[in-house]
Amino acid sequence: MTPVQIVFGVILTLLAIVIIILIMKQEGNEQGLGAISGGSSESFFGRNKGKTNEARIGFVTKICVAIFCVLALVAVVVMLFV
């Protein structure tokens, strides 16, 4: 294995662990049938959903997954040409 492969492997492994931890920290969606029938978003949490800690964790998770996907593709391309 080349040093480049080792570096990509370590980074992808650490990022995968971070993604797993972030997903485990998220709370489930327990709205029941209200979510299907278009429940009211006029509550305090409905209007301020983007400002909650759960929304921040969801945003960070999406960013980490995007970085993971890009790094995985770059790693494959680098492995083909190294």
Residues 6+ apart with CB under 8 A from 17: none
Q: Could you tell me if residue 17 is inside a domain?
A: yes
pLDDT attached to residue 67: 96
pLDDT attached to residue 28: 77
7-32, pLDDT tens digit by residue? 999 999 999 999 999 999 988 766 65
Give the Cα separation of 33 and 30 in Å (integer).
Answer: 9
Q: Could you tell me if residue 59 is inside a domain?
A: yes
Global pTM?
0.71
Q: Could you tell me if residue 21 is inside a domain?
A: yes
Q: Could you tell me if residue 22 is inside a domain?
A: yes
31-57, pLDDT tens digit by residue? 655 555 555 555 665 566 667 888 999
Q: Could you tell me if residue 20 is inside a domain?
A: yes
Tell me which residue has tokens 């990022």: 15
Higher pLDDT, 81 or 39: 81
Number of independent structural domains in the chain: 1
